Amino acid sequence: MKTNNFCVIMAGGVGSRFWPISRSVKPKQFLDILGTGKSLLRLTFERFIRILPPENILIVTSSDYDDIVREQIPEIPVKNILLEPLRRNTAPCISYASHKIKKIDPSARIIVAPSDHLILKEDKFLEVVRQGLDFVGEEHALLTLGITPGRPETGYGYIQVDRETEPALINRSISKVKTFTEKPDHKLAKVFVESGDFYWNAGIFFWSLESILDALQRHLPEVEAVFSEGDRIYNTSREERFIAKAYAGCKNISIDYGVMEMASNVFVLTSDFGWSDLGTWGSLYEQKKKDSKQNTITGKNVMSYDLENCFVHIPDDKLVVLQGLKNYIVVESDNILLVCRMKDEQKIKNFVLDVHLQKGQEFI
């Protein structure tokens, strides 16, 4: 299957909001969070392999997870596993991957996607992917996916479309972006949803190689300069040493903040294909089947009394008795127990930081 379409899967996150299941040694993208028998990374790879050959898929991850990626995705060429020695957010990751692709096909069209999202309507999603790749193949543009919001969610970023500018040429589901807003409070999120002009930011991007390299040069020249120096080194024995040096001196910045919010040629393709970023236990709770009291309980030895609207995830070999909880998250893993109010799930990231500071790396 010869094509100039490429996919970059970002798989370097630590998934701290899924603690204690997601740990630094094996974060959530490598886990079977959905109970399908496959990790989120594996599901993402299998989604894209339906339209792309393995040699056109790159996975960017931490060097700590090299063995896990090789084990879970044995089909991918080793040179397509890009190992980051340090975490520097998404802009360096995308610049690195773009220059690797440049060595293969300077006319490439690229989709960049996280490794840990849920897509319920895969056929619809792949139709949208083809549409996005076609668009960036014809237009010098940066394209992002916007999801029709179903509720005033405060855990997502929002994209406002520009209703005054004519949509792009493919169809009326592609519009110019007016503003980006990151994780508004509930009151503002409600205004966004009611306006009809805002969409959830899925964090999935499309561009041609030429468009993204030009955007990086314009808006993050210091990042682009770091990785362009390696154009003669990539795919050689010197690449690992070069990347170690590059990341040590590279800026820590997201592609959203560094490029997408700054560029003038940014468009959004709006759709609805059953998407969730699976960023928190609450988002997983939304996807799970509920009992008559709106609880979702995993674990063969969980005994519950008077529970309502709770997410419970307990290993089968543990006996747990719960009584009187309402709107709580209860998760146990490796002798770590988390009990947290559902409304406070965004604080789990802070809990993990406190655990790290007070108890050390053992529990992270």
| Cβ atoms within 10 Å of 233's Cβ, excluding its own | 17
Lowest mean pLDDT among 9-18, 73-82, 160-169, 348-357: 160-169
Confidence of residue 169 (pLDDT cuts 50, 70, 90): very low
Tens digits of residue pLDDT in 252-279? 999 999 999 999 999 999 999 999 989 8
Tens digits of residue pLDDT in 9-62? 999 998 899 999 999 999 999 999 998 999 999 999 999 999 999 999 999 999
Mapping DSSP onto H, E and C, the string for 260-277 reads HCCCCCEEEEEECCCEEC
Please name the helix (run of DSSP H) or strand (run of DSSP E) that holds residue 207, with its range, or none. strand 198-208
**Who contacts 323 (Cβ-Cβ below 8 Å, separation ≥6)?**
304, 305, 306, 307
| 247 and 290 assigned to the same domain | no
* Cross-strand partners of 331: 313, 338
| 206 and 348 assigned to the same domain | no
| 267 and 319 assigned to the same domain | no
pLDDT at residue 166 tops 80: no
Tens digits of residue pLDDT in 216-244? 999 999 999 999 999 999 999 999 999 99
Confidence of residue 154 (pLDDT cuts 50, 70, 90): confident
Confidence of residue 155 (pLDDT cuts 50, 70, 90): confident
| 33 and 157 assigned to the same domain | yes
Q: What is the pLDDT of residue 223?
A: 97
205, 137 in Cβ contact below 8 A? no
Asked which of 248, 279, 310 is the last residue of a domain, the reply is 279
| 307 and 265 assigned to the same domain | no
Q: What is the pLDDT of residue 197?
A: 92
Asked which of 257, 279, 301 is the last residue of a domain, the reply is 279
Confidence of residue 2 (pLDDT cuts 50, 70, 90): confident
pLDDT averaged over every residue in the chain: 94
Q: 111 is written with which tokens?
A: 């989709």
Confidence of residue 165 (pLDDT cuts 50, 70, 90): low
180, 260 in Cβ contact below 8 A? yes
| 297 and 248 assigned to the same domain | no
| 158 and 287 assigned to the same domain | no
| 21 and 151 assigned to the same domain | yes
How far, in Å, CA of 147 to CA of 42, rounded?
A: 23
**Who contacts 346 (Cβ-Cβ below 8 Å, separation ≥6)?**
17, 154, 155, 280
* Number of domains the chain is built from: 2
How far, in Å, CA of 96 to CA of 79, rounded?
A: 13
Q: What is the pLDDT of residue 263?
A: 96
| 298 and 172 assigned to the same domain | no
- State the CATH number of the domain containing residue 269: 3.90.550.10
Tens digits of residue pLDDT in 276-326? 989 899 999 999 999 999 999 999 999 999 999 999 999 999 999 999 999
Q: Which domain holds residue 297?
A: 282-363
| 87 and 12 assigned to the same domain | yes
Rama region for 360: left / alpha / beta (φ>0; ψ in -120 to 50; rest): left
Confidence of residue 171 (pLDDT cuts 50, 70, 90): low
Q: What is the pLDDT of residue 170?
A: 44
| 240 and 290 assigned to the same domain | no
| 275 and 353 assigned to the same domain | no
Asked which of 229, 245, 279 is the last residue of a domain, the reply is 279
Confidence of residue 1 (pLDDT cuts 50, 70, 90): low
